[in-house]
Structure 1
Amino acid sequence: MALLEISGLHAYYGKSHVLQGVDMRIDPGEIVSLLGRNGVGRSTMVKAVMGLVHSTGSVVFDGKELIGMKTHEIVHRGLGYVPESRDVFPALTVEQNLLLGQQRGKQSQWSMDDMYEMFPRLKERRHTAAGVMSGGEQQMLTLCRSLIGDPRLIMIDEPTEGLAPQIVEQVARYLDILRERGVAVLLVEQKLAIALDISQRVYVMGHGTIVFEGAPGDLRDAHQVRKDWLEV
């Protein structure tokens, strides 16, 4: 059974109809990438799942309908979200940011030491205010803050955007560790090579709908799909 099942999802910003009937599924422990050019609705889809934009249709997570639920209720059900904007608490230290990610009364499989082992730079800067850190360091922190809440599925929006190659490699390792520990991932990404390398399945979005679904090898062979919907 799918962990996340999206059916006929429509989403709106005011009168703008952004998502126009999206269907998608993610199975337990699976890494799925959502590809597409900027402006086609990928980030809106993730926000719709999290209850952050007005939407209609069906979003079923672990057998429960999410449409109509508040964002904090969705998080408590086991969904994590890492926005493209990173959204650290700038005046708080690295360690304080991580502590805010923990859920009260819930035993997490992830410890603070796990976070520092994945990203040693965070351990070095654990007493540093998040607002003075580099973009790459803030991205590491946001990824870990979401993970320490022990989600069963984490949705990550453009985690490698603007990062140096060595930081991109660390993010890819982070995704590998999630897969090893059985956490499902929806990766919103523009870098085709990363998505094809790390995913079990890929979706391509164009103009608010899904225009391709398949294995990474299928997308490699789908030259017309890449030309029409991915290449600049």
Structure 2
Amino acid sequence: MEPMLEVRDLNAFYGKSHVLRGVNMEIMPGEVIALLGRNGVGRSTTAKAIMGEVAPRGSIKFKGQEIAGLESYRIAHLGLGYVPENRDIFPTMTVRQNLVLGIKDMKTPGRWSIEQMLEMFPNLKARADNPAGVLSGGEKQMLTMCRTLMGDPDLIIIDEPTEGLAPKIVHQVGDTIAEIAKAGVAILLVEQKLSIALRIAARVYVMGHGEMVWSGTPDEFREREDVRREWLEV
């Protein structure tokens, strides 16, 4: 089986700073991958480079097609969804209107409907006709995920979905990501909380100083206290 996403020798720069240094990674269809590492090591930059928001050098193949250098909107139209860290919603529009904006093709129904999204998230359903700006942080995160799913992606990159959320909501977000995976959507989860990452990921990549320093299964990761100590613990 061919990888859905294949990243080879990916480099990226912010001005003269060499942020990504030969990153290699692959994600199979329907697979959930966790990308772990301390803040500032290049995890979010990896997501942005894949999505065309940071200029990439190297190869990024999505469903066999080279996408390095394409504009972000073209990458999204190929079926790659992106949930950024900043919970990018339209605050004055209603929850329902935000979801409608996520639909790429009104004529062809995707695997998710607005009603399905609202059933999956009772909190959003209760506020479907309220302005999105009144939602809590956790609800905004869920709305951002839902809106991305309305575009019917085959792979979704979710950047730090639990940042700043209460523990109970963190667990709920984890359950949601697991539900998305059950529907056959591949997921690249950029996350700091090991509990959520190890619960739902099939494989783990650990990043340090702009490159991948370790990869393996969650069970293998649990055995590697040396990896955790060197690359994750503050």
For Structure 1 versus Structure 2, the TM-score category normalised by the shorter chain is over 0.9
1:191 pairs, out of 193, 200, 203, with: 193
2:160 pairs, out of 158, 161, 167, with: 158
Counterpart of 1:7, as a letter, is R
Misfit runs of 4+, over 3 Å: none
Counterpart of 1:160, as a letter, is T
Q: Is the 1:98–1:141 Cα contact (8 Å) retained in structure 2?
A: yes
Q: Secondary structure at the match of 2:59?
A: strand
Q: What is the CA distance between 1:107 and its match in structure 2?
A: 2.3
Counterpart of 2:7, as a letter, is I
* 1:121-143, Cα deviation, whole Å (9 max, x unpaired): 10111111112221111111001
**Structure 2 spans left out of the alignment, 5+ residues:** none
Q: Is the 1:13–1:54 Cα contact (8 Å) retained in structure 2?
A: no
Flag the 1:52–1:106 CA change in 2: closer, same or farther, 3 A: farther
Alignment match, 2:12? 11
Alignment match, 1:62? 63
Q: What is the CA distance between 1:177 and its match in structure 2?
A: 1.2
Number of residues of Structure 1 aligned to a counterpart in Structure 2 = 232
* 1:134-183, Cα deviation, whole Å (9 max, x unpaired): 11111110010001110000000010111122222221111121221110
Query: Where do residues 65-80 of structure 1 align in structure 2 (5 Å cutoff)?
Result: 65-80=66-81
Q: What is the CA distance between 1:198 and its match in structure 2?
A: 0.8
Counterpart of 2:153, as a letter, is P
Query: Where do residues 111-190 of structure 1 align in structure 2 (5 Å cutoff)?
Result: 111-190=113-192
Q: Relative to structure 2, which stretch is displaced further, 45-54 or 101-110?
A: 101-110
Alignment match, 1:86? 87
Hey, what's the Cα distance between the residues in 1 that align with 2:196 and 2:179? 15
Q: Secondary structure at the match of 1:72?
A: helix
Hey, what's the Cα distance between the residues in 2 that align with 1:38 and 1:115? 31
Q: Is the 1:110–1:147 Cα contact (8 Å) retained in structure 2?
A: yes
Hey, what's the Cα distance between the residues in 2 that align with 1:184 and 1:87? 21
Q: Secondary structure at the match of 1:11?
A: strand
Hey, what's the Cα distance between the residues in 2 that align with 1:68 and 1:169? 36
* 1:62-87, Cα deviation, whole Å (9 max, x unpaired): 01001121100000000000001011
Hey, what's the Cα distance between the residues in 1 that align with 2:221 and 2:171? 23
Hey, what's the Cα distance between the residues in 2 that align with 1:107 and 1:133? 27
Alignment match, 1:99? 100
Q: Is the 1:119–1:170 Cα contact (8 Å) retained in structure 2?
A: no
Q: Is the 2:171–2:196 Cα contact (8 Å) retained in structure 1?
A: no
Identity %: 58
Confirm or deny that 1:43 pairs with 2:60.
no
Hey, what's the Cα distance between the residues in 2 that align with 1:148 and 1:154? 11
Query: Where do residues 204-215 of structure 1 align in structure 2 (5 Å cutoff)?
Result: 204-215=206-217
Q: Secondary structure at the match of 2:233?
A: coil
Hey, what's the Cα distance between the residues in 2 that align with 1:58 and 1:37? 25
Alignment match, 2:22? 21
Q: Secondary structure at the match of 2:212?
A: strand
Q: What is the CA distance between 1:106 and its match in structure 2?
A: 3.6
Q: Relative to structure 2, which stretch is displaced further, 12-21 or 104-113?
A: 104-113
Q: Secondary structure at the match of 2:111?
A: coil
Hey, what's the Cα distance between the residues in 1 that align with 2:69 and 2:31? 26
What's the TM-score, normalizing by structure 1?
0.98
* 1:4-62, Cα deviation, whole Å (9 max, x unpaired): 00000001111111000000000000000000000000000000000001110000000
Hey, what's the Cα distance between the residues in 1 that align with 2:77 and 2:20? 25
Q: What is the CA distance between 1:197 and its match in structure 2?
A: 1.2
Hey, what's the Cα distance between the residues in 1 that align with 2:31 and 2:112? 18
